[in-house]
Amino acid sequence: MIELRRLHRFFGSTRAVNDISFEIEKGQVFGFIGPNGAGKTTSMRILATLDLPSYGDAFVDGFSAVNDAERVKRRLGFMPDAFGTYPDVNCREYLDFFARAYGLVGRERMKACQHVMGFTGLDVLATKPINGLSKGMKQRLCLGRALVHDPSVLILDEPAAGLDPRARIELREMIRELAVDGKTVMISSHILTELAEICDCVGIVERGELLAVGSVAEMESRLAKSASMRVTVLDRAPQVAEWITSNNPDCKVKVKVIGNAIDFELPMDQRSQAKLLRGLIEAGFDVASFGVVDRNLEEVFLNVTKGRVQ
């Protein structure tokens, strides 16, 4: 449904987007992760036909954002990272304006606005001036605006920025609902743990380059340099730490003892993990628990990116 093909966008000597390619299937939620200045907004604006690439192209449902902008616009809803100011307009009028811009007329337009207000929970605020809305409500309205023409693809640029925890959860639920509905969603964020829960797939970008792309699970295992393990024993934790170090003479083991738990990092697969556990038990230690500590996207992000800015 979405494809970036060798996408480039330069601003003078700044390579905002530098040869990015990937595809997003129908009904997928794709997380676009990267530090400030990575090129997320630039890529999304090109997809939304608001900017043109220096080289390469972006496609929505097979239509080129460069050569077929009208068809792309009909199929796509874009939620920008900044909400413009619109004095003297209330929520209903705001949505109605965008519905008109998309060519909806009469009852169809009324129904579309009503549906969107219901979905985003804005119906109770229909007559409220939008300049008086809180950040969370503005975000809802912005999402509503992106949805009003019932697009099959949604591009959301940091929709969760500045939201309180409840509003984040509600947004996540709305996005999930949209995906179940068959919409393809591309969402950018710095909030990685949050994306892990709603995304089928993530792409990590930095300095305009795509560093990694894949499912959340794939990324976590592929990019993990080693396994972070934790073993908890009933007693003699320091001896266990020593045993682990002395039984792995070939590699550097980082061992940390926290109470009865021993955290360690080893480059190993499941077979080696099973062998280690057997060894511990055979050595007479009372192992209460043994397992891989959950990796999260934060860690993957830190492993992959270098913190370079431009």
Ligand X SMILES: Nc1ncnc2c1ncn2[C@@H]1O[C@H](COP(=O)(O)OP(=O)(O)OP(=O)(O)O)[C@@H](O)[C@H]1O
Q: Which residues bind ligand X (CB under 6 A)?
A: 11, 14, 16, 34, 36-42, 310
Q: Under rule CB under 5 A, how many of the chain's residues touch Mg ion?
A: 2
In the complex with Mg ion, which residue's Cβ is closer, 16 or 178?
16
Residue 303's binding partner out of Mg ion, ligand X, none, with CB under 5 to 8 Å set by partner kind: none
CA-CA-CA-CA dihedral for 107, 110, 116, 120, to nearest 10: -150
How many Å apart are CA 176 and CA 41, to the nearest integer?
A: 22
Q: Which does 42 bind (CB under 5 to 8 A by kind): ligand X, Mg ion, none?
A: ligand X
Residue nearer to Mg ion on the CB measure, 39 or 151: 39
Query: What is the pairing mode between strands 227-233 and 261-266?
Result: antiparallel
Pairing type for strands 227-233 and 184-189 reads unpaired
Beta strand residue intervals within 53-126, DSSP E: 55-60, 63-64, 76-79
Min dist CB 205 to ligand X, Å, is 7
Residue 21: CB minimum distance to ligand X, A: 17
Q: Which is nearer to ligand X, 15 or 230 (CB)?
A: 15
Instruction: Determine if 305 is a binding residue for Mg ion (CB under 5 A).
Output: no
Residues 6+ apart with CB under 8 A from 105: none
Of the pair 190, 230, the CB lying nearest Mg ion is at 190
Amino acid of residue 250: D
Nearer to Mg ion, 49 or 90 (CB): 49
Q: Which does 310 bind (CB under 5 to 8 A by kind): Mg ion, ligand X, none?
A: ligand X
Distance CA 269, CA 292 (A): 11
Question: Among residues 7, 18, 30, 41, which is the contact residue for Mg ion, using CB under 5 A?
Answer: 41
Coil, helix or strand at residue 151: coil
Q: Could you tell me if 193 and 38 are in contact, meaning their C-beta atoms sit under 8 angstroms apart?
A: no
Give least dist CB 191 to ligand X, A.
11
- Residue 38's binding partner out of ligand X, Mg ion, none, with CB under 5 to 8 Å set by partner kind: ligand X
> Residue 140 binds what, of ligand X, Mg ion, none (CB under 5 to 8 Å, by partner type)?
none
CA dist., res. 115 & res. 306, Å (int): 44
Region binding Mg ion by CB under 5 A among candidate stretches 38-46, 55-63, 200-208, 269-277: 38-46
- Which CB atom, from 159 or from 280, has the smaller least distance to ligand X? 159
DSSP state of 295: P
Nearer to ligand X, 201 or 229 (CB): 201
> Half-sphere exposure of residue 278, counting CA atoms within 13 Å on the CB side?
6
The conformational region for residue 61 under phi > 0 = left, psi -120 to 50 = alpha, else beta, is: left
- Residues 132, 135, 138, CA angle at the centre, nearest 5°? 70
Q: How many CB atoms lie within 10 A of CB 166?
A: 9
Give the nearest distance from C-beta 160 to ligand X in angstroms. 13
**Partner whose footprint covers residue 55, from ligand X, Mg ion, none (CB < 5 to 8 Å by kind):** none
Structure tokens at 70: 């009208």
CB of 188 to ligand X, least distance (A): 7
Identify what 39 binds: Mg ion, ligand X, none; CB under 5 to 8 Å per kind.
ligand X
Give the binding range for Mg ion (CB under 5 A) out of 36-44, 190-198, 256-264, 277-285: 36-44
Q: Please, what's the b/e burial string for 27-40 (b: 16 or more CB within 10 A of its CB; e: otherwise)?
A: bbbbbbbbbebbbb
- Shortest Cβ distance from residue 286 to ligand X (Å)? 49
Q: Which residues bind Mg ion (CB under 5 A)?
A: 40-41
